[in-house]
Amino acid sequence: MVIQEQINNDFKEAFKAKEQIRLGVLKMLRSEISNTEISKRGKGETSSLTDDDIMTLIIREVKKRKDAEALYTKGGRNDLVENEKVEREILEKYLPAQMSEEEIKSLVAQTILSVDASGIKDLGRVMSELSPKVKGRGDGALISKIVRESLV
């Protein structure tokens, strides 16, 4: 619940400072959290979200922004690219520090050795072992690409 408290505090600060872009992003994020809690309640689960659940939501929103940036860049809409970039940067503040490509490669190599992977057929085992270690700290597409290259 630490992340949710931080989001709520930052929302209040943005509201007082009249920072419209930051306020809009945090309002959207709070809404996503609330909707997810309501959805969980409907399924009979406990409605409060853990920090991991919230981090997963934030990762999904960051990915949406990255995808939109790519599409807007392709379409020559630089004004919209900048807006998506600002929103993505606001969201990324709630994620742990991102791992460098070298750190990811090192962790992938360690994981491959620990599960005794010998080829691409072991991709699932490596990814399931690696995923909890890198959650929120690296781009999923990059991690997958590095694992695939390492297993070939």
108: Cα separation from own chain's centroid:
19
Distance CA 100, CA 82 (A): 24
Q: Examine the fold and report which residue of 92, 121, 139 is the final residue of a domain before the chain moves on.
A: 92
Q: CB within 8 A of 3, min separation 6: which ones?
A: 51, 54, 55, 58, 94
At 123 the pLDDT is 87
Would you give the DSSP letter of residue 45?
S
7 shares its domain with 64: yes
88 shares its domain with 110: no
- Domain span holding position 137: 101-151
Number of domains comprising the chain: 2
46 shares its domain with 105: no
87 shares its domain with 110: no
Is the pTM of the predicted complex or chain greater than 0.75?
yes
87 shares its domain with 35: yes
Q: Examine the fold and report which residue of 57, 92, 127 is the final residue of a domain before the chain moves on.
A: 92
Distance CA 1, CA 68 (A): 29
Per-residue pLDDT of the chain (152 residues; tens, 9 = 90+): 689 999 999 999 999 999 999 999 999 999 999 999 888 887 777 668 888 889 989 999 999 999 999 999 999 999 899 999 999 999 999 988 888 889 999 999 999 889 888 888 988 888 989 888 888 788 888 888 998 988 88
